[in-house]
Amino acid sequence: MERLDKLVSQRSSLTRSEARSLIKRGEVAVNGEVCKSCDKKFDSSAEIVVGGKSLGGKYLYLMMNKPEGVVCATKDSLEKTVLDILPPQYKNRGLFPAGRLDKDTTGLLLLTNDGEFSHRIMSPNKNVYKYYIAQTDKPLSEDDISLFRSGIVFKDGTKCKSAFAENLKGEGACRVGVKICEGKYHQVKKMLAVCGVKVQKLERISIGFLTLDIKLPKGGCRELTDIEISQILFSSFT
C-alpha cells in the first residue's frame, strides 16, 4: 500500500508537490472515484486517472526478453531480479513473474499484477503450452521423441505430462525444440537429461500462441496488446 501522492508521482513526470495539488483540486480518480486525500493509501495495482488521462489500469501485462543472470523473483537479497531491471514507469506496480525461468535461461517472460491471469497461464490443467529452444550436445533419437509424448518420468518417480520434442534443422550446434504445459523445477533440462542429452543454452520462445517479439533486446520489455493477451490463452500441442 502506498500514499496516493506517491503513486501519482511514480507513474508520471509529476513531482510529489504537483501531485498533491492535483489531488486536492479533485483532478485525480482512483478505481473510478475521485479522491482528494493525498495520504490515503492504495494498492500498487490501483487504477489511477489524472485530468482524464489514465496512469495505468488496474492490471498490467508485460512481455520481457529475459537475459541471463537475473532471477525470476520479486525480491532477492543476493541476486538481481527481473523487477530490478524494469523501466521506472513499471516500478511499484505490484508486478510479479507469471511463471519462472531459471537464472541462466533466457527469452519470453510475462510479468503481471493479475493473479488470476497468472494462474490461468501456469496451471498444467489449463494446457497452455510453452515452447523452448535448447542448444544441446547431441540430437534426440526417435525413441527419445516418443518418450516425450508418452510422458517422461524423473528418477524420483515424478511423471511429466505428454510433451512435444523435435530436432531443429540448421548448421552449427545441435538444437532441440521442446513444448510443455507444466512448469516443474528445471523441467526441460531434466527431461532432456533423462534422454542423455545435455542442455548448453535454453531460451523460451512462446507461451500459447504468443511469440517473443524479436525486436525486444535482452532485458527489454513492453506492454502486451489486447490481441496478444488473448493469444496467450490459446495453445497448441503440435
> Which CATH number characterizes residue 140's domain?
3.30.70.1560
Q: How many folded domains does the chain comprise? A: 3
Edge-to-edge strand order for the sheet containing 48-50?
33-34, 28-30, 48-50, 53-54
Same domain, 48 and 101: no
CA distance 235 to 130: 9
| 102 is an active site residue | yes
Same domain, 109 and 226: yes
Residue 97: inside a domain, yes or no?
yes
Is 82's pLDDT higher than 90?
yes
Which of residues 92 and 152 earns the better pLDDT score? 152
Same domain, 194 and 134: yes
Confidence of residue 125 (pLDDT cuts 50, 70, 90): confident
Query: Nine-digit cell at 4?
Result: 496516493
User: What is the CATH classification number for the domain harbouring 108?
Assistant: 3.30.70.580
User: What is the tens place of the pLDDT at every residue in 126-172?
Assistant: 889 999 999 999 999 999 999 999 999 999 999 999 999 999 987 67
- Residue 115: its pLDDT value, please? 87
- Residue 236: its pLDDT value, please? 58
Same domain, 101 and 167: no
Residue 218: inside a domain, yes or no?
yes
In angstroms, the first-to-last Cα distance of the chain is 44
- Residue 197: its pLDDT value, please? 97
Beta bridge partners of 143: none
Same domain, 120 and 216: yes
Residue 162: inside a domain, yes or no?
yes
- Residue 56: its pLDDT value, please? 67
Same domain, 203 and 135: yes
Beta bridge partners of 178: 132, 165
Active-site residue (options: 76, 102, 114, 143): 102
Which of residues 167 and 54 earns the better pLDDT score? 167
CA distance 194 to 215: 35
Any idea which of 48-57, 143-152, 188-197 has the lowest mean pLDDT?
48-57
Residue 237: inside a domain, yes or no?
no
Express as a percent the part of the chain with pLDDT over 90: 67
Same domain, 110 and 226: yes
Same domain, 113 and 137: no
- Residue 58: its pLDDT value, please? 67
Strand pairing class (41-42; 199-207) = unpaired
- Residue 238: its pLDDT value, please? 54
Q: What is the mean pLDDT of residues 69-86?
A: 94
Phi, psi angles (nearest 5°) of residue 95: -75, 150
Same domain, 104 and 214: yes
Give the chain's mean pLDDT: 91
Residue 221: inside a domain, yes or no?
yes
Place of cell 532432456: 192
User: What is the tens place of the pLDDT at every residue in 171-190?
Assistant: 678 999 999 999 899 999 99
User: What is the CATH classification number for the domain harbouring 45?
Assistant: 3.10.290.10
Residue 238: inside a domain, yes or no?
no
* Enclosing domain of residue 221: 61-124+210-232
- Residue 177: its pLDDT value, please? 97
Same domain, 8 and 43: yes
CA distance 185 to 195: 17
Which of residues 99 and 136 earns the better pLDDT score? 136
Same domain, 81 and 194: no
- Residue 92: its pLDDT value, please? 73
- Residue 45: its pLDDT value, please? 72
User: What is the tens place of the pLDDT at every residue in 3-35?
Assistant: 999 888 877 778 899 999 999 999 999 988 999
Confidence of residue 202 (pLDDT cuts 50, 70, 90): very high
- Residue 156: its pLDDT value, please? 93
pTM of the model: 0.79
CA distance 114 to 146: 37
Same domain, 144 and 78: no
* Closest C-alpha to 229, from 20, 83, 63: 63
- Residue 17: its pLDDT value, please? 92
